[in-house]
Amino acid sequence: MPHIAVIGAGPAGLVAAETAVRAGARVTVLDRMPSPGRKLLIAGRGGLNLTHSEPLDAFLARYGAARAWLEPAIRRLPPDALRAWAEGLGQETFIGTSGRVFPRAMKASPLLRAWLARLGAQGVTLRTRHRWQGWDAAGALALDTPAGPASLAADAVVLALGGASWPRLGSDGGWPALLPAVPVAPWQPANCGFRIAWSDHLRTRFAGTPLKRIALTFARRTVRGEAVLTAEGIEGGAVYALSAAIREALPATLLLDLRPDLDAAALAARLDGPAGGVTLANRLRRAGLPPIAAALLREVPENRPLSQRVKALPLRIERAMPIDRAISSAGGIRQEALDDRFMLRARPGVFAAGEMLDWEAPTGGYLLQACFATGVAAAEGALAWCAARGARPSEAGLLP
């Protein structure tokens, strides 16, 4: 029976632990936080978006340049298999109007409770408040624990240490210092908001105002959805969908369409021509636009016809919001640092999974799906590593 240590008790780490223990391994999960799954709980605060229901080829395209790297793992654990896994925990799922997949409970806490109970019943040992500090002189894991320094020997190790967003939940991005021989791409915010130099009037009057049923265009790509104006700039789902392209082009100009459901000619008939003494706010209101529209138009004074400005209002973006405010992060262990089983080339017997790898994806279920899929793949790699060295767990217990 091989002993596999998993460092990190987020989705990637916990699913790696489950994959390994079901195959017959002895598994210890270590996490530096007081309780497991903290980022998962936050992700489920407004509805846990597990995955997405779109066709698999379209789904895989969401990973951009990382598709070829992640595709084998996701095909091994596709969205339907992840839904079946959740339902095996008693968490029935459903497909929302946007195609996103959620548990019926719309929360992460029931799923996490059921999952931890099952892992405990399967024999997984969970040690919280155990901070990984690298390896000791004997090659064992060096740990900082509530009782003081300790070490743990393992036949294989799965690292699931997270990225650099939400540091207060445990993923502070500091682990590259423990892997000096491993190539790591610099951390960058992903699925993030952006800073815009609003006027004092807009900041004080409209910070926190939602922009509903809008469209944003950048680099010839248009996304419909919603956003929120903040005192520092703009954020929200429609922004996040374009954030990777915007981040790489900074400084950049984002085009805001305040009435995407109305074509240019129809809007021109309502807005263009003599004002006839009607205020800007009232003209916009008659065209079905909210009060925030007038404030935004005053932020960007132009000589174009009013309808054209409403359809394509340029927003100048200078920089992204800090990474600790981003939903996820880009950067991490580069693909060339791993073999096809997610093992570190510089550290045989050590595997990596989840957000600590250098990939990014939009919100919509793609983040969690890749974390689960790479967690399973890394655990299977660890099991194969152990089997090649004489410890042969059963393959019957692997996740589907």
- Total residue count of the chain as it appears in this document: 400
Closest CA to 66 of 326, 329, 346, 357: 357
Angle value at C-alpha 213, between 210 and 214, nearest 5 degrees: 85
Spatial distance between the Cα atoms of 383 and 400, rounded to a whole number of angstroms: 15
- At what angle are helices 109-122 and 11-22 packed, to 10 degrees? 30
What torsion do the CA atoms of 114, 90, 76, 338 make, to the nearest 10 degrees? Answer: -20
Q: Compute the mean pLDDT over every residue in the chain, rounded to the nearest whole number.
A: 94
Which residue has tokens 């390994």? 20
- Give residue limits of the domains in the chain: 3-189+327-388, 194-320
**Which residues have a Cβ under 8 Å from the Cβ of 321 and sit 6 or more positions away?**
189, 192, 193, 194, 195, 232, 233, 235
Residue 51 has pLDDT above 80, yes or no: yes
Share of the chain above pLDDT 70, in %: 98
- Return the minimum-mean-pLDDT range out of 14-23, 180-189, 297-306, 313-322: 297-306
Q: What share of the chain is helix, strand, coil (3-state, %, to 5)?
A: 40, 25, 40
The residue type of 163 is G
Dihedrals phi, psi of 16, to nearest 5 degrees: -65, -40
Least confident segment among 40-49, 150-159, 210-219: 40-49
Find residue 216's DSSP bridge partners: 223, 256
Q: What is the pLDDT of residues 257-312, one digit of tens each?
A: 999 999 999 999 989 988 777 888 888 988 889 999 999 999 998 899 999 999 99
How far is Cα 143 from Cα 129, in angstroms, rounded to an integer?
Answer: 10
Average pLDDT over residues 144-149: 96
What's at 339, amino acid-wise? D
User: Can you tell me whether residue 293 is helix, strand or coil?
Assistant: helix
In 3D space, the residue among 34, 43, 52 whose CA is nearest the CA of residue 11 turns out to be 43
- How far apart (Å, rounded) are the C-alpha atoms in residues 293 and 259? 10
Instruction: Tell me the CATH architecture of domain 3-189+327-388.
Output: 3-Layer(bba) Sandwich (3.50)
Total-model pTM:
0.92
Q: In the CATH scheme, what architecture does the domain 194-320 have?
A: Beta Barrel (2.40)
